[in-house]
């Protein structure tokens, strides 16, 4: 371990092998940091928080602080962060609340840029990119390989499906199905994220099927329940549409449409 002399590491914290803690950083009690993590200068990490291996956390980030919820009364709720994440300057990630299940979760291989905010009881998948100032309210679910462009705002209890993409300054107040591109204030659908799907190895036939499902949902004029039934039937033939169909069935706030 390499801990700068000006850093403060509580005796109740657990640090793995090859962890570096920079000048003036503060690691509180009930914090567990895995192997090969780099904690930059003037970072504050409070607990209960568990951080996996190979993470890089840059200066002025606030990780595992109490949730910004008036109902929170000091309960020992948690934050869990996976492996190989990059958390840039001034990012804020809060612990959960009792009413929301008690835990905020961030997965693996995410790039969380400067000034992003992840509020209490959120779940973030793997391989996401949050551009500068993207912010999640409480109880938001973000899928895998999602890109939130700068200044995207996501309303509490919303879900954003796998491989979705939001344009700069988008305001998301309803659920965003997988594969969609969304932009605007309020956010509106603008086709599927075909370029992103190509980069991630989706074959041409799968992308064509996703485009057909998009047209059923947004261009056919069908009522939502009819569109959902038609997409469910299409999912029997195309594996990639099963994700789309399940998301529609389990939407909490209805979908953008």
Q: Let me know if 236 is a catalytic residue.
A: no
Distances (CA, A) of 229 to 138, 142, 192, 211: 31, 24, 20, 16
Residue 82: which of 55, 103, 45 has the closest Cα? Answer: 55
Options 64, 82, 107, 138, the catalytic residue: 138
Strands 165-166 and 153-154: what pairing? unpaired
Distance CA 27, CA 67 (A): 18
Q: Let me know if 138 is a catalytic residue.
A: yes
Options 117, 120, 139, 155, the catalytic residue: 120
Q: Let me know if 167 is a catalytic residue.
A: no
User: In the structure encoding, which two tokens stand for residue 177, read together?
Assistant: 């199905």
Q: Which residue has the tokens 């956390």?
A: 57
Angle between helices 239-249 and 224-235 (to 10 degrees): 150
Options 108, 121, 141, 175, the catalytic residue: 121
Strand partners, 114: none
Catalytic residue positions?
Answer: 120-121, 138
């Amino acid at each position: 371990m390499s801990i700068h002399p000006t850093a403060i590491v509580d005796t109740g914290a657990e640090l793995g092998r090859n962890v570096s803690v920079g000048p003036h950083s503060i690691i509180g009690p009930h914090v567990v940091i895995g192997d090969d993590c780099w904690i930059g200068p003037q970072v504050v990490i409070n607990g209960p928080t568990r951080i996996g291996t190979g993470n890089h956390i840059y200066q002025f980030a606030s990780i595992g602080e109490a949730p910004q919820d008036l109902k929170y009364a000091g309960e020992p709720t948690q934050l869990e962060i996976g492996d190989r994440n990059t958390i840039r300057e001034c990012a804020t990630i809060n612990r959960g609340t009792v009413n929301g299940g008690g835990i905020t979760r961030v997965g693996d291989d995410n790039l969380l840029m400067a000034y992003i905010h992840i509020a209490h009881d959120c779940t973030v998948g793997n391989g996401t990119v949050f551009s500068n100032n993207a912010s999640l309210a409480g109880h938001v679910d973000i899928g895998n390989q999602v890109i939130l462009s700068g200044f995207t705002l996501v309303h509490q209890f919303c879900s954003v499906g796998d491989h979705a993409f939001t344009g700069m300054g988008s305001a998301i107040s309803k659920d965003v199905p997988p594969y969609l591109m969304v932009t605007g204030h309020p956010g509106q659908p603008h086709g599927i994220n075909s370029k992103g799907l190509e980069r991630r190895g989706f074959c041409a036939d799968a992308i064509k099927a996703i485009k057909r499902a998009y047209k059923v949902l947004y261009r056919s004029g069908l009522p939502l329940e009819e569109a959902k039934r038609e997409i469910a039937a299409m999912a029997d033939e195309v594996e990639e549409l099963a994700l789309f169909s399940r998301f529609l069935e389990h939407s909490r706030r209805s979908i953008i449409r």
